[in-house]
A = this chain, B = another copy of it.
Amino acid sequence: MLLSPAAGRAPARTTRPELACGPGFSSTFFKGSALRASVAQASGRTGRAQILIVRADNRPIIIGMAADSGCGKSTFMRRMTSVFGGSPKPPAGGNPDSNTLISDSTTVICMDDYHSLDRYGRKEKGVTALDPAAQDFDLMYEQIKALKDGKSVEKPIYNHVTGLLDPPETVKPPQILVCEGLHPFHDERVRKLMDFHVYLDISEEVKTSWKLQRDMAERGHSEESIKASIAARKPDFDAFIDPQKQYADVIIQVLPTQLIPEDKEGKVLRVRMIQKEGVKRFSPAYLFDEGSTISWIPCGRKLTCSFPGIKFFYGPDTYYGDEVSVLEMDGQFDKLEELIYVESHLSNTSAKFYGEITQQMLKNSQFPGSKNGTGLFQTLVGLKIREVFEAIRQTTVAPVV
């Protein structure tokens, strides 16, 4: 069963040898003799992985990132990899529709690649892409496990453009493997391979507003068709995607602003970073005073903000029965100083120096959400992931200046 495609997966794959030596992953980290294992088969491309024993402290750390499609995962990824250096790019010379992104030390793979049914298969069986019945969790588990063990894999590609399963691509174990997609936490085995779990929770109002904006402007869809498509996805989303957030260590929740009564425009966002307490290697960031409940409007005498201003909140709560600490930002930044001013009152951010968050945000100011809490909290999560990485690898990552 190891690394073989799940029953029902089409088309079949063959194995091919592959040296585990991803970007930024020096071969000096490997030692011992090569071992053999069967690798997932895929039509059109054959290969067999050469499996090497990796020093335990050099095995990749695995980050899970769950979210609905069109929810800003790629921006999140770009912010995260920016903390480690480099910018994520598709695999050189590979399938142009590959979902994989590779940067200096990070590889992002998309869990949609583990669809067991392509668009036509799903249609035939009457299941949506959100349905676990359309995923191959065995293969997902086996390949992520192999990568975690320092082995390369031949990962299938789900082509979002054609809706077909394309020939597989080689994924080498990076220092940090990010598994993003619809179902990274659905399967307990997969979930347990992950060192840190992030869920992007976009509220229905915001999701609709984003999709309308993107799909009407860029893809020429009508408002009705977009709304109908969201409504059609909702039952399966609620049944299979949404429940995964209970397994996340951090949830970034994106809601409409509360600063503008009855806001219809949906441009100003209230973003909450829900941080689970008691997670190994992860200690929640806080505002002013750990463990108490605080709301903070920094705009005032020292800082003037344009309408509707900014409001922060921090406090303990429970989430699916777990103790959490919530950090919240409603509104958006006008200018640079506001960022550094806010940073001065945040504690336990895992920044390596005062100003690192502001610097990261400025460096990526062209990314969507840079002025609101999505950008801030994505950056914070990036710093937290760096800390998890350092703790597991017993190493120090130099800040990217």
Q: Are B293 and A300 in contact, CB atoms less than 8 angstroms apart?
A: yes
Which of B291, B293, B297 is within 8 Å of A293, CB to CB?
B297
- A292 interface residue (CB < 8 Å to B): yes
Q: How far is the CA of A158 from the CA of B292 in the complex (A)?
A: 50
Q: Are B298 and A289 in contact, CB atoms less than 8 angstroms apart?
A: yes
- A125 interface residue (CB < 8 Å to B): no
CB closest residue in chain B, given A302: B291
18 A-B pairs with CB atoms under 8 Å apart are A288-B288, A288-B289, A288-B294, A288-B296, A288-B345, A289-B296, A289-B298, A289-B345, A292-B302, A293-B296, A293-B299, A294-B294, A294-B296, A294-B297, A295-B295, A297-B315, A300-B315, A300-B316
Residues of chain A touching chain B, judged by Cβ–Cβ distance below 8 Å, are 288-303, 315-316, 345
CB closest residue in chain B, given A309: B293
Nearest CB on B from A129, distance (A): 41
Copies in the complex: 2
Q: How far is the CA of A300 from the CA of B314 in the complex (A)?
A: 11
Nearest CB on B from A281, distance (A): 19
CB-based closest 4 A-B pairs: A291-B301, A293-B297, A291-B302, A292-B300
**B residues in contact with A293, CB < 8 Å:** 296-297, 299-300
**B residues in contact with A302, CB < 8 Å:** 290-292
Q: Are A301 and B294 in contact, CB atoms less than 8 angstroms apart?
A: no
**B residues in contact with A294, CB < 8 Å:** 288, 294-297
CB closest residue in chain B, given A298: B292
**B residues in contact with A300, CB < 8 Å:** 291-293, 315-316
Q: How far is the CA of A292 from the CA of B303 in the complex (A)?
A: 8
**B residues in contact with A288, CB < 8 Å:** 288-289, 294, 296, 345
Q: Are A290 and B296 in contact, CB atoms less than 8 angstroms apart?
A: no
Q: How far is the CA of A300 from the CA of B277 in the complex (A)?
A: 14
Nearest CB on B from A286, distance (A): 10
**B residues in contact with A295, CB < 8 Å:** 294-295
Q: How far is the CA of A345 from the CA of B300 in the complex (A)?
A: 19
Q: How far is the CA of A289 from the CA of B344 in the complex (A)?
A: 10
Q: How far is the CA of A289 from the CA of B298 in the complex (A)?
A: 8
16 new A-B contacts, CB < 8 A, other than A292-B298, A292-B302, A294-B297, are A288-B289, A288-B294, A288-B345, A289-B296, A289-B298, A289-B345, A290-B301, A291-B301, A291-B303, A292-B299, A292-B301, A292-B303, A293-B297, A293-B299, A294-B295, A300-B315
